Amino acid sequence: MSEKSNPFKGIPSLFSRSSKNQDAATPPVVIADGRQLIADSKFFDAAWYLLQNPDVAASQIAPIDHYFTCGEKEGRNPGPDFDVAWYTKKYPEFAATKVGALEHYLRHGHLENKSSTLAEYRTKLENDPRMFEERVALKGAPLKVYTSPPLTRRINLIVDTMAFNELSTHESSIQRTIHRGLKVSVLLAEATGSSLRFVTRVARAQVSGFKKYLLANNLRIPSQVEFVYSDYVIASASLPVSRWDIFITVDEANTASVRKSIPEKGIFVVAPSGASEATQSPQGHADDEDDDVSDLIHDLSRSCASVFV
Amino acid sequence: MFSFDFKPLHYEHPWSVSHEHRLSTLLKGDIKVAYLYEAPPKNTFRYRVYNMVQALNQSSRGFSASYFSPDEWSTIAAHIDEIDVFVVSRVRYTAELNQLLTRARNKGKRIFFDIDDFLFDPDYTHLIVDTLDLPSTEDTWNYWFSLISRIRASIQLCDAVITTNAFLAEKLTQYFGKPVHVVPNFMNEEQIGISNQIFQLKKDSGWKRDNDITLGYFSGTQTHNKDFEVIVSALAELFAADSRIKLRIGGHLAISEPIAKYTDRLELLPFCDFVNLQTSVGKVDINLVPLQENVFSNCKSELKYFEAAAVGTVTIATPIYTYSHAIEDGKNGFLSSSYDWLDKLSYIVAHLDEQPSIAESALKDCQERYWLKPQITALERIFSS
C-alpha cells in the first residue's frame, strides 16, 4: 500500500502494548476473541482500572475478565483514553451490534474515524479535514436559547474563542476580527446602557487580561460582564434571551447559528474592517479605524433603539 | 491552610425536640409565634425557622415561638385561639395549609410568609432551572413549576411577607403588593459558639498557616456547577502559576476540565453537619463565593460571607446585591467581577499578611449585622406591629 493511499496514515496504533505472538513490524490482524483484542489494545489499562475500581481490586478477579464480562456493561471505562458512556451516546448505531463499545471501536470504529473520547472528537473536529462537514453542521446548528422575561438590555458577542492576553497583540486575522467585535460590543453597550454577555463556542474564554485589554484600547470597563461557554460540540449552555437582547457576530458559522434562533433585527454582523487593520498596534488602533467604529456605533445605536422597546 | 487543632464536636440536630416540648415552649409567652415548615429540615429551615425561633425565645418582650411540620398542624389547629402569629416558611400550597390559615385569619390572627429565594414567579422557572444546572426532564419541569406555583399560592394566603434582603423584598412587593419585611439570615448560638473558639484559636496562634494556600468552595448542594464555572478559567491559571494553590471543596460539584487535572491539589470534603462545617471553613485561606449574575442569584443571602467571617476566613464574592452591600472591597472582604478573579486572587495570595486585619473587620461587621442578638429586635418589631 502506498503511503498516499493509506487511509490509516496518521492514526496512532491501537496496539501499543503488542501481543507477545505478534511481530512488532507487522500490522495487527483482527483477532476473533474480543477479550484478547481489548487486552492487547492500548485502551485497556489494567493498573488504571484497578485504581478506579477498588471493588474489582478487592475481588481478585483479573481486570480484563471483569471489564469484558461486566465492567463495560456497568459503564466502567477500560482506561483513561476510552469513554464508554460517551461512545455509546455518540454512536448509538453500535448498540445494534453484538459487541461492546470498546470492541466495536477496535474492530470498526477507528476505521470509520470514530473517536474514543469527547476530547479526541473535539480535537478531530478542529483539526481533521475529514471532519469539516460535521464541524460546519455542528457550528451552524441553532444557538441554544430560551425565552426569559426581559430584565436588562444586553449586548451579546458570539465568537469561537476569546483570550485577552493574546488579543492584545492582534497577530492573526481571526484575532483582529474578534477584537473588532469586542470593541463594537463594549462601545455599543456603553452607548445604549446595556450589560454585556460574551459567549464563546469553541473554548472557555480566558478572561485574565480583560481590563488591561480594555485600557490598551481606550475602552471603559463595563459595569456588568458575563462570560458563557456554550460549547458547540455538546451544546452545553443554553442562553436566556429576551426581546432586549442584541447579538453581535463576526464570522459566518456563528452568524448562521444565531440566525436560526434570534430574530434578524436583533442580530448585527460586524464585518472585518478594511485596510486600516494592517496598521493596528498592540497599544491601540489607527484613527481611521476608530472613525469607522464610531460611525458603526452611531448606526447600531439607532438600530438598537428599535429593538429596545 | 491555617494551622490549628480543633476536635470535631459531637453533633445531633438541635431542632430534634419532642412535639410536646415544642408545643409547651410555644404556649409559654405572651405573644405566641408558630412557624409552619415542610419536612425534612434543610438549610432554609435552619436559617429561616430554627434560628428565628431561637431568637424570639431569647426576647425579653414576652415572645415565645416554636416550629411544626405538616403532620403536627392538627394539634396546632387545636390551639389556634392561643396562638397570635403564624409564619409559613416556604411551605407549598395544600388543602390543609389553606384550611389552617383560613381559620386563623377568621380568628384575626396575623399570618406571615417567610421566603429566602426568588421562587414565586412561574415566568422565571426556566431561568431558575438553568441557573441551577438541572437537566431538562419531565420530572424537573413538573417539580419546579409545581414548587413555584404552589409557593405563590401559599404567599397569596398570607397578610405579609418576611424575606432576607431588600432586592428580594422589592420583587415580592412588585409581585404581590403585600407588606414585606426584611430579616437577614443570621448565625445561631451553635454556630456562634464553635466559631468564636476557632476565631480565637487562629488569633492566638498569630494566624499561623502552613505553606500551602488553600482556597475553599463550600457549595453545599449540587446546584452550583454554573456558579463555579464563573471562576474555572481563573483557577486554572492560578493553579498553573502557583504550585502552593490548593482547592478544598465542600459539597457536590462537577469539576470541569481545566482544573480536573490537578487532582492532587483538589480536596473533596465528605458531608459535614453545619456546626463542624465551621472548622472546615476556618481552615481555608480564602473563601470563594462566585455566582452567576442574574435575578435569581441577586436574591441570594450573604450567608457564605458571614459563616466564613465568623471563623476568621476572608471571602471573595461576586458583587450580587447582598454581597455588594455586605462587603466593602479590600476592607472586610473582596468583591470580584466576572473578569477580575485572577487579578483579585493573585493580589490576595500576594498579600496574605493583610488577612488578619480584614478578618477582624469582617467579624466585627458580622457581629453587628448577622449575629443572633441584633436580629431579635427586628423580629420583635415585625411581630409587635
- The length of chain B, given as a count of residues: 385
Query: What digits encode the pLDDT tens for the residues A93-116?
Result: 888 888 899 999 999 999 999 999
Q: Determine which of B121, B232, B233 to mutate to test the interface with A (most A C-beta atoms within 10 Å).
A: B233
Counting residues of chain B whose pLDDT is more than 90, the rounded percentage is 89
Counting residues of chain A whose pLDDT is more than 90, the rounded percentage is 58
Chain A CB contacts of B232 under 8 Å are 204
Q: Output phi, psi for B157, to 5 deg.
A: -80, -10
CB-CB contact of B54 with B105 (8 Å)? no
Of B127, B295, B339, the CB nearest to A211: B339
| Model confidence at A132: pLDDT above 50 | yes
Pairs across A and B, CB distance < 8 A: 51
Q: What is the mean pLDDT of residues A278-293?
A: 47
| Model confidence at A282: pLDDT above 50 | no
CA-CA distance, B133 to B256, in Å (whole number)?
14
Give the confidence band of A16 by pLDDT, cuts at 50, 70, 90: low
**Distance of residue A216 Cα from the nearest chain B Cα, in angstroms:** 16
Verify whether the Cβ–Cβ distance A226 to B234 is below 8 Å. Answer: no
Q: Determine which of B132, B295, B320, B338 to mutate to test the interface with A (most A C-beta atoms within 10 Å).
A: B338
pLDDT at position A70: 92
What domains are defined for chain B? Answer: 19-186+372-384 (3.40.50.2000), 189-369 (3.40.50.2000)
| Model confidence at B43: pLDDT above 80 | no
A6-10, B185-189, B321-325: least confident range: A6-10
| Residue B40, preceding peptide bond in cis (omega within 30° of 0) | yes
How far is C-alpha A84 from the chain's CA centre? 20
Residue A74, classed as helix, strand or coil, is coil
Q: Which three cell numbers stand for residue A79?
A: 482506561
Verify whether the Cβ–Cβ distance A208 to B294 is below 8 Å. Answer: no
A52-56, B27-31, B61-65, B148-152: least confident range: A52-56
Verify whether the Cβ–Cβ distance B339 to A207 is below 8 Å. Answer: yes
The DSSP secondary-structure symbol of B46 reads I
CA-CA distance, A189 to B119, in Å (whole number)?
30
Q: What is the DSSP string of B283-301?
A: H-SEEEE----STTGGG--
Residue B314, classed as helix, strand or coil, is strand
Query: What digits encode the pLDDT tens for the residues B318-350?
Result: 999 999 999 999 999 999 999 999 999 999 999
Of A148, A224, A227, the CB nearest to B126: A148
**Distance of residue A227 Cα from the nearest chain B Cα, in angstroms:** 7
State whether residue B133 sits within 8 Å of chain A by CB. Answer: no
Beta pairing class for A245-249 and A267-269: parallel
Which DSSP helix (H) or strand (E) runs through B242? none
Q: Within 13 Å and on the Cβ side, how many CA atoms surround B298? A: 12
CA pseudo-torsion sign B348, B353, B358, B360: positive
Query: What digits encode the pLDDT tens for the residues B265-301?
Result: 999 888 889 999 999 999 999 999 999 988 999 999 9
Q: Which B-chain residues 234-253 have CB contacts (< 8 A) with chain A?
A: 234, 237
**Closest-CA residue to B332 (of B286, B378, B364, B292):** B364
pLDDT at position B20: 96
pLDDT at position A298: 82
Verify whether the Cβ–Cβ distance B233 to A238 is below 8 Å. Answer: no
CA-CA distance, B375 to B379, in Å (whole number)?
6
- Phi/psi region, residue B176 (left: phi>0; alpha: psi -120 to 50; beta: rest), is alpha
B343 to chain A: nearest residue by CA?
A208
CB-CB contact of B75 with B24 (8 Å)? no
Give the confidence band of A3 by pLDDT, cuts at 50, 70, 90: very low
CA-CA distance, A159 to A252, in Å (whole number)?
10
Q: Within 13 Å and on the Cβ side, how many CA atoms surround A68? A: 18
Of B127, B258, B342, the CB nearest to A204: B258
Verify whether the Cβ–Cβ distance A148 to B293 is below 8 Å. Answer: no
| Model confidence at B240: pLDDT above 70 | yes
Verify whether the Cβ–Cβ distance B338 to A226 is below 8 Å. Answer: yes
Average pLDDT, chain A: 83
**Distance of residue B95 Cα from the nearest chain A Cα, in angstroms:** 31
Verify whether the Cβ–Cβ distance A146 to B232 is below 8 Å. Answer: no
